[in-house]
Structures are given as structure tokens and as C-alpha cells.
Structure 1
Amino acid sequence: MNDPAGPRRVAVFGGHGKTGRAVIAALIERGAEPVPLGRAEWPALGTALIGCQAACVIAPNLHPDEPDYVATVLGALTRAGVPRVVYHSVASPYAPDMPHHVGKARSEDLVRRSGLSWTILQPGAYRENLDLSGPTVTVPYDVDAVFGFLDLADLGAVAATVLLDASHAGATYELATRQATVRELAAECGLTAQQVPNEVEHPWLRAMFDYYDRHGLPVGLGVLRHLLGSR
């Protein structure tokens, strides 16, 4: 359950992106007052954070130095007296073959040593990242690799839950809505699935897809079910 005396004004760093919008929608549904913050608002952070009792930190996708980004946000929260932070990390953050995952692992360490009350979310791959418009779902990795897929709405619901309930302080939650392969998700929509060559230009994305090809990204389901069942 959400704590009725818990935070009601919540800063959402990265609030203009798809993850941030999902978190904001869930916060509004629970009667909270989200404050979306992007880079444009950073010069006035001291003012924007006034009255915030918690913050959700979602770094830009593939940020070149996520630990620096997170350290800057943590410093702003500390100066503004915001006591609680929820950090949006990733499932399997310490995977040396995926450089941006390692950046999130280092950022998790900063959050845990920040002196703030913290919770860390480790989401699986978003189901919404797959193009299921048909007739063939194409991805640059093995379509039979197993993933823990996460629905954005479920991520938003969990983030709002832990932001508004201080009993989740000190917890790290790995999150997935279901385990499946790309082939299985495609078949459920009446589509076929096909692996295409991994020719993406960004080296971190190319490394991530190579990792997926070898290992997938399995994520357990029990934590999400428990958290959503406790709303």
C-alpha cells in the first residue's frame, strides 16, 4: 500500500521521455504531484525541487557518462533537502560485455552511498521496444533467446508505488512482466520473427545485441507480481 503520509510532490528526472511519462501517469493516478525535469530545467533545479519529498532518476538513454549524470542529480537533491530517491537502473547491471550496463552499476553504487533514502529499480527489456505492427518482427539477435520483458505501464505502477511508500527504502527490485522470446511474442500477434545482421553503429548497442544473441536477458517475475499486488 502507498503511505498516505508519504511523499506527494515528486521530481521525475527524465520525465519527458517514455519511461518518465509512464511514471508520471502512475503518480497522477495515485493523487501525487509529479514535477517532470529534463535538461532544460536543470539551470533552475534549486527552485524546481522546492517542496519535493522524493525524486525518480531516469538518465537519458545511452548517456555517455551516466555516473556523472547521477552524481549531479544526487548533489542537487542533497542541496535541496529532498530526502528520497528512486533510481531507474537495468536488469543485470554488472555485465562487463555491455558498457552502458556497467555505467548503471557504478551509478547504483553512488545512489547507495548518497546518504539519501533510496530504492533501485532494475527493469528488463521493454516489450514496447519491439515493433509488433507486422508482418515480421525483426531484431539483431537470436529470436529464441529468453528475455524478461517489462510493460511500461507496469514499470510506472511500480515506480509510483515505491516513490510513495518509504517502506521500500534500501530495496533493489528486478522487474519483468513476463518471460518470453521474441518469436513467442510475435506468434501471439500472428506474426513471424526473424534475426537480421547486427549492423547498428553505436558500439554500446552493438555490444548489447551481441550479448542478447548469446545470453538473452532473463528476469524473474515474482518481485513485480508482489509489488503490483500490494498496491
Structure 2
Amino acid sequence: MKVAILGGSGKTGRAVGAALAQAGVATRPLGRAAFDDLPAALAGADAVHVIAPNLHPDEPAYVATVLAAATGVGVGRVSYHSVASPYVPAMPHHLGKAESEDLVRRSGLDWTILQPCAYLQNLLPGLRTGTLDVPYSVDTLFGMVDLRDVAAATAAVLTGAGHVGATYELGGPALVSVADVAAAAGTTARRIPAGADVHPWLRAMFDYYDAHGLPTGGVPLAALLGRRPASVADVLARELPAGRCCQP
């Protein structure tokens, strides 16, 4: 089996590639240059995993281009990296993923959609500096998830049976706040104002997080992994320097 990974050079793509390699699957990481001749870049692959660039201005068009190229060269299997709660009218970039999900479902390919919550890894840079600053409420709840677990789940759906036509929301084992994560690392979290140059879609996301967070459940991910998803303490113990972690 060979899997082409669109967005294969980013942190998610690299993690997915590593998980597939661990499962004995050959991968073909593809970046933006692949769009110079996308059919040629996808030719010979059995499946394609689609990760669009962050805040892509027209993600449905991006995904439609990939689906057309995959269909044209006989790639029969697609998995799409979406987001938890894609249909949220207040967050335009989430809506782009919701529209893209619809395209995937109507593509005629064997498809699976993955909807991960925010990665715990996104908070690590702040934790390493000693104070975790974010431009939204530190107290609202998220189903924060380990990137490695998301990658392992992606490998599972591409290599296992029974996942065609499935949509999986991927959250960690418990709902936690940014303040909870900071406390687990032995530090504090602060809300800071977003800069004037922040993309309006991100500003809309921060406003939504203030009011609602992004809660997700952990049961689908646990089922795909065959084990409990990594907790905040698990991720911090693995990722932070010795002596910096962790409070239970």
C-alpha cells in the first residue's frame, strides 16, 4: 500500500507519515509544488490523505482539485483532515472544512473524515517559556488531543477495515482548559489581547473560544487506537524537559 499525504511536510503530515511508516505503509509526502502536476504526483498511490494549509482562503476548491486528480488517476481511497465542529457559522475557516467534507462525501471515492480537536502540542512553545499566553479565555473547555494519537488514528483508518463512510470526531480523554494544561505543567496561563494584524478568521475563532471553547469526546479516538488516548500529563511528560512536568 502507498499513501500520498497532501500537506506532508507540515507537523500533522509528518506525524501521519511517521504513524503510517510504523504500520509498514509506504508514504509519499506532497507539498504545494505537487499542484504543478497533481495527477502525476498522485499517480500510483492507493490512497490520499488530504491536509489543507492552515486558513486556506478557499479550502473547498483545494479539496475539489485533489479529489478530481485522485479520481482521474485511479486513487480509490481518500481520508480528509477536517476539524472538530466543522459547521460553526461564527468561524469561517471551520465552514470551509464543512463544505469540503460535503465534497469528500460526494466524491465517489472510498472516504473517511477525521475531525480532530486542538492539539496539545500547540501549547508547548508557551509552556517551554514558562508562561502560557493565549488570546482567548483560559477557562473554557476543550477536548484537546495528542497529535501523535491523531496520526495513529489516521493510520488506523487507512490500513484497517470498516472505516469507509465514517466520520470520526477525535478528542482527548477529558475536557480541559488552557489553565488546566498550564497547571499540569507547573505554570500559569494568561489571556492576552490579539494583535491588530491577526487574521479576521482567527479573531472570530478566539471570540468563539471565549464563549464556548471546543468540547469533544474521547470515545471515537479510544476505539480507533484500541487504548485510552494520551492525557495532558502523558503528553507533557513526553514533550517537556525533565523536571518541568507534571501535576496530576
Same-fold call, TM cutoff 0.5: yes
Give the equivalent residue in structure 1 for 2:116.
Answer: 123
Counterpart in 2 of 1:3? none
Query: After TM superposition, where is structure 1 displaced by more than 3 Å over at least 4 residues in a row?
Result: none
Structure 2 counterpart of 1:34: 27
Match of 1:4 in 2: none
| 1:133 matched residue in structure 2 | 128
Query: What residue in structure 1 maps to residue 190 of structure 2?
Result: 194
**Structure 1 counterpart of 2:184, which letter?**
E
Q: Match of 2:179?
A: 183
Higher relative contact order (CA 8 A, sep 6+): 1
Q: Which residue of 2 aligns with 1:17?
A: 10
Identical residues among aligned pairs (%): 61
* CA displacement at 1:97 relative to structure 2: 0.4
Identify the match of residue 163 of structure 2 among 168, 185, 188: 168
Counterpart of 2:152?
A: 157
Q: TM-score, normalized by length of structure 2?
A: 0.87
Contact 2:2–2:45 under 8 Å retained in 1: yes
Aligned residue for 1:209? 206
SS at the partner of 2:112?
A: strand
1:197 aligned partner, one-letter code: P
CA contact (8 A) 1:10 1:55 kept: yes
Instruction: Using the TM superposition, give the Cα deviation of residue 41 of structure 1 relative to its aligned residue in structure 2, in angstroms.
Output: 2.0
Q: Paired residue for 2:62? A: 69
Other-structure match for 1:146: 141
Query: Could you list the runs of 5+ residues in structure 1 that have no partner in the other structure?
Result: 1-7
- Deviation by residue 1:12-71 (Cα, 9 ceiling, x = unmatched): 000010000000000000100011111112223323322211110000000000000000
Write the distance in 2 (CA, Å) between the matches of 1:142 and 1:194.
8
TM-aligned CA distance change 1:84 to 1:166, over 3 Å: farther
**CA deviations over 1:69-118 (Å, ceiling 9, x no partner):** 00000000000100010000000000000000000000000000000010
Gaps of 5+ in 2: 228-248
Please say if 1:89 is aligned against 2:89.
no
Deviation of 1:163 after TM superposition, in Å, equals 1.1
Query: Is the contact between residue 67 and residue 107 of structure 2 (CA under 8 Å) also seen in structure 1?
Result: yes
CA contact (8 A) 2:179 2:189 kept: yes
- Cα separation, 2, equivalents of 1:79 and 1:106: 22
Structure 2 Cα separation of the partners of residues 166 and 10 of structure 1: 16
Q: Is the 8 A contact 2:38 2:66 kept in 1?
A: no
Q: TM-score scaled by structure 1?
A: 0.94
Q: 2:98 aligns with which of 86, 94, 105?
A: 105
Q: State whether residues 22 and 152 of structure 1, in contact with CA within 8 Å, keep that contact through their aligned partners in structure 2.
A: yes
How many angstroms does 1:150 deviate by? Answer: 1.2
Contact 1:86–1:163, Cα closer than 8 Å, also in 2:
yes
- Quick check: 1:134–1:191 contact (8 Å CA) kept in 2? no
CA RMSD after TM alignment: 1.1
Deviating more after overlay: 40-49 vs 163-172: 40-49
Q: 1:222 aligns with which of 215, 219, 223?
A: 219
